[in-house]
């Protein structure tokens, strides 16, 4: 997702049910959500990034909630493979999403 231009459903070529648009990042003092500006750049597994990184994390044991482009909210587990996490963070990468 981008802030500089509109994205249509047709631009989400990986499928709206396979594309994350917003997720929790509770490690920041303002209880920030990660979104189009930074959700695509996940370098660490869920709940495992150092405090200075803006990655997916929450106070929920075992994972964090994420909103997908189809409107569904799903619990993303800490045990999710980093490759799967990277795949759901792109809208047109052509990856096969497994183990979500």
Q: Is 99 exposed, middle or buried (0-12, 13-18, 19+ CB in 10 A)?
A: exposed
Least confident of 2-6, 18-22, 24-28, 34-38: 34-38
pLDDT in tens, 38-67: 566 678 899 998 877 878 889 889 999 999
Beta bridge partners of 46: none
Which pLDDT belongs to residue 1?
A: 54
Which pLDDT belongs to residue 51?
A: 78
Which pLDDT belongs to residue 17?
A: 92
Mean pLDDT (the chain) is 83
List of E strands, the chain: 20-24, 33-34, 63-68, 73-77
pLDDT in tens, 3-12: 677 888 999 9
**Where along the chain do its domains lie?**
13-88
Indicate whether this model's pTM tops 0.75.
yes
């Amino acid at each position: 997702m981008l802030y500089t231009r509109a994205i249509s459903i047709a631009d989400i070529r990986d499928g709206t049910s396979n594309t994350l648009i917003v997720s929790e990042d509770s490690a920041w003092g303002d209880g920030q959500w990660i979104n189009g500006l930074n959700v695509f750049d996940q370098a660490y597994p869920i709940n495992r990034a150092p405090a200075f990184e803006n990655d997916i994390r929450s106070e929920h044991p075992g994972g964090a909630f994420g909103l997908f482009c189809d409107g569904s909210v799903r619990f993303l587990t800490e045990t999710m493979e980093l490759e799967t996490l990277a795949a759901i963070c792109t809208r047109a990468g052509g990856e096969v999403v497994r183990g979500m």
